[in-house]
């Protein structure tokens, strides 16, 4: 659903900072353990993470970026954003970054080619070329929602509309492999997460490890090799973020427009807090 490279903002990855801007309704469960650390010159600068975004609406794109900053525990100079819907992917050296994150997208991977815009076709080709290198190097990668389509298609998954889920919170269940995976450390075996997607993975890539499912969607998270991850649920979305997207994408086909107020009220009553641990675990594990 719904450039240049910076090398500043050093911090010790073993001691993550306190995340600011937490609302009373959307606390990060581990926030009390996050404390700011002084600059440690001997560790050298930490390379930034790269966020590849494709949301054309500025409000949605900026809200998404702020959510990743907040829940990854990063400063702006530690998370470089490229908006691929409006700019071509520049030449990148993966060694300049700690890891790559692909955010959600209005693009639908399983749409027929003739129904895709020229920008979507370009973005898909650019991401596929980048994934050639990422997969070959087993370079840290986390794709959220659209990441299932991009990494999944690249690795031979079947992506179709059999297992779409309506906008809202749903129960995610970890597999036994998921309960042992470092990116899901601290996440309970069953937890709520926000979803809202037209397509999903109906058949895993042959080399993938299934990490999480829901009752309506058999593939909610998988891993390729050791360091390549994709989630169907949104690890960056809290209630406020979901409400923002409901308002922005009211007429995008995710739900009948007249149900928007009910969806917003349901979101306000939810308490989705656990998925954000995936983002924190990703940045803590791979910051370098």
| Residue 2 belongs to a domain | no
Question: Mean of the pLDDT values across residues 218-227?
Answer: 98
CA distance 187 to 51: 23
Which CATH number does the domain housing residue 242 bear? 3.40.50.880
In whole angstroms, how far apart are CA 281 and each of 164, 241, 274, 286?
27, 20, 12, 8
Beta-strand (E) ranges in 161-283? 165-174, 190-197, 200-203, 208-213, 221-224, 228-231
Contact 200, 145 (CB under 8 A): no
Residue 235 has pLDDT above 90, yes or no: yes
| Residue 131 belongs to a domain | yes
In whole angstroms, how far apart are CA 39 and each of 16, 19, 76, 185?
12, 17, 16, 27
In whole angstroms, how far apart are CA 286 and each of 67, 110, 280?
19, 31, 10
Which domain, by its residues, includes 208?
31-286
| Residue 25 belongs to a domain | no
Contact 214, 172 (CB under 8 A): yes
Q: What pTM was computed for the model?
A: 0.84
Residue 22 has pLDDT above 70, yes or no: no
Residue 10 has pLDDT above 80, yes or no: no
| Residue 13 belongs to a domain | no
DSSP codes of every residue in 174-190: E-HHHHH-GGGTT--SE
Q: What is the pLDDT of residues 61-109, one digit of tens each?
A: 999 999 999 999 999 999 999 999 999 999 999 999 999 999 999 899 9
Q: What is the dihedral of CA 87, 88, 90, 96, to 10 degrees?
A: 60
| Residue 130 belongs to a domain | yes
| Residue 18 belongs to a domain | no
Residue 33 has pLDDT above 80, yes or no: no
How many domains is the chain built from? 1
Contact 268, 25 (CB under 8 A): yes
Q: Which of 50, 100, 52 is nearest to 78 (CA)?
A: 50
The CA-CA-CA angle for residues 123, 68, 81, to 5°, reads 40
Cross-strand bridge partners of residue 50: 80, 100
Which range has the worst mean pLDDT, 23-32, 134-143, 146-155, 245-254? 23-32
Contact 281, 182 (CB under 8 A): yes
Residue 236 has pLDDT above 70, yes or no: yes
Q: Model confidence at 271, in pLDDT bands (50, 70, 90)?
A: confident
| Residue 281 belongs to a domain | yes
Give the three-state DSSP class for 157.
coil
Which range has the worst mean pLDDT, 26-35, 164-173, 196-205, 277-286? 26-35
| Residue 17 belongs to a domain | no
Task: For 209, list phi and psi in degrees, rounded to 5.
Answer: -110, 120
Alpha helices in 73-211 (DSSP H): 118-137, 146-154, 176-180
């Amino acid at each position: 659903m719904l450039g240049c490279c910076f090398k500043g903002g050093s911090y010790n990855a073993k001691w993550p900072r306190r995340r600011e801007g937490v609302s009373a309704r959307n606390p990060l469960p581990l926030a009390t353990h996050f404390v700011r650390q002084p600059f440690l010159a001997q560790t050298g600068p930490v390379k930034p993470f790269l966020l590849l975004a494709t949301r054309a609406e500025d409000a949605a794109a900026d809200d998404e970026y702020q959510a990743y900053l907040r829940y990854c525990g990063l400063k702006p100079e530690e998370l470089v954003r490229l908006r691929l819907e409006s700019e071509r992917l520049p030449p990148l050296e993966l060694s300049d970054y700690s890891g790559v994150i692909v955010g959600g997208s209005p693009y639908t991977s399983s749409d027929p080619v003739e129904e895709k815009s020229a920008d979507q076709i370009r973005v898909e080709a650019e991401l596929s070329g980048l994934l050639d290198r990422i997969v070959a190097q087993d370079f840290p990668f986390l794709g959220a929602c659209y990441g299932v389509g991009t990494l999944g298609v690249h690795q031979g998954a079947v992506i179709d509309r059999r297992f779409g889920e309506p906008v809202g919170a749903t129960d995610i269940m970890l597999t036994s492999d998921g309960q042992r995976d470092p990116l899901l450390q601290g996440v309970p075996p069953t937890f709520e997460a926000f979803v809202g997607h037209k397509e999903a993975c109906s058949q895993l890539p042959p080399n993938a490890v299934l990490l999480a499912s829901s009752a309506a969607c058999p593939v909610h998270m998988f891993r390729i090799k050791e360091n390549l991850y994709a989630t169907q649920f949104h690890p960056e979305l809290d209630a406020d973020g979901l409400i923002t997207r409901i308002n922005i994408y009211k007429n995008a086909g995710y739900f009948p427009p007249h149900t928007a107020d009910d969806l917003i009220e349901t979101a306000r009553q939810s308490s989705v807090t656990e998925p954000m641990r995936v983002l924190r675990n990703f940045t803590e594990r791979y910051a370098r």
